[in-house]
Amino acid sequence: MARMKFLCDADRCIECNACVTACKNEHEVPWGINRRRVVTINDGKPGERSVSMACMHCTDAPCAAVCPVSCFYTTADGVVLHSKDLCIGCGYCFYACPFGAPQYPRVGNFGSRGKMDKCTFCAGGPETDLSKAEYEKYGSNRLAEGKLPLCAEMCSTKSLLAGDGEIIAEIFKERVIKRGYSSGAWGWQTAYRETVAT
């Protein structure tokens, strides 16, 4: 089985937000929930870089570790998913997540956040694959259809890579060697305890 990962090549990201739009549309994500977002570092200054960030589907995921009701699980593909039926909306996963991935329908209403929502790597949830119940809670399950996450598929500059970790690392590595520079495989060290040697 492949170990699924995301990799955002910040030297290619042009902050077009196509990944964000693709994600929102594909999964019909409600307003206020942002499974993926693009953030620009040193905006307007020479050397600014934009990074598209969502759940990185960490190895030994911190969200899963701190969840007081153990609602997280990791699929055979290394995708970190959770059950909205078990989630109590305590917000702890957001404190533990290094990437700010968990989202809540309501924040600050006496701490009653509602069920957590996050990027599923387009892999749905614990319900039967491609069922209506799965779609309503977690969005579409592209992986079950043999497709990769739509954010990366729609990326206009192919900055955002999604798929088998070894393959996307190889693509990124080749690019970096050819062009001769890189600002890093953002989040890899934190998420996977390894980086792409370039």
Partner 1 sequence: MARYRPLRAMLALGALCLVLGVSMGLEGGLNLGLKLSLCPVARAEQPSSVNPTAQSVKEQDLLKELHKVQGRGSIPDTKSYVIQQPAGRDWRQFHEVTLRWIGGIAILGMLALLLVFYLFRGMVRIEAGRSGRTLVRFNGFERFVHWMTAICFITLALTGLNITFGKELLLPYMEPQVFTEWSQWAKYAHNYASFPFTLGVVLIFLLWIAWNFPTPTDMRWLRQGGGIVGHEHPPARRFNAGQKAIYWVVVLVGGTMAASGYILMFPFYETDISQMQTAQMVHAIAGVIFVAIMLAHIYIGTIGMEGAFEAMGSGRVDVNWAREHHSLWLERQIAKGRVEEPPPPEGSPAPAE
Asked if residue 185 lies in contact with residue 195, where contact means CB atoms within 8 angstroms, the answer is yes
Cβ closest to partner 1, residue 11 vs residue 77: 11
Q: What are 125's two structure tokens?
A: 């949830």
Place of tokens 């119940």: 133
Please tell me whether residue 41 binds partner 1 under the rule CB under 8 A.
yes
| Interface residue with partner 1, options 97, 123, 160, 161 (CB under 8 A) | 97
Please tell me whether residue 16 binds partner 1 under the rule CB under 8 A.
no
Asked if residue 51 lies in contact with residue 10, where contact means CB atoms within 8 angstroms, the answer is yes
Please tell me whether residue 154 binds partner 1 under the rule CB under 8 A.
no
CB neighbour list of residue 120: distance below 8 Å, 6 or more residues apart: 27, 35, 55, 79, 81, 138, 139, 141
Cβ closest to partner 1, residue 143 vs residue 149: 149
Please tell me whether residue 55 binds partner 1 under the rule CB under 8 A.
no
Q: What are 182's two structure tokens?
A: 């890189």
Please tell me whether residue 30 binds partner 1 under the rule CB under 8 A.
no
Asked if residue 13 lies in contact with residue 38, where contact means CB atoms within 8 angstroms, the answer is yes
Binding region for partner 1 (CB under 8 A):
10-11, 15, 17, 32, 34, 37-43, 46-51, 53, 62, 65-71, 85-92, 94-100, 107-108, 110-112, 179-187, 189-190
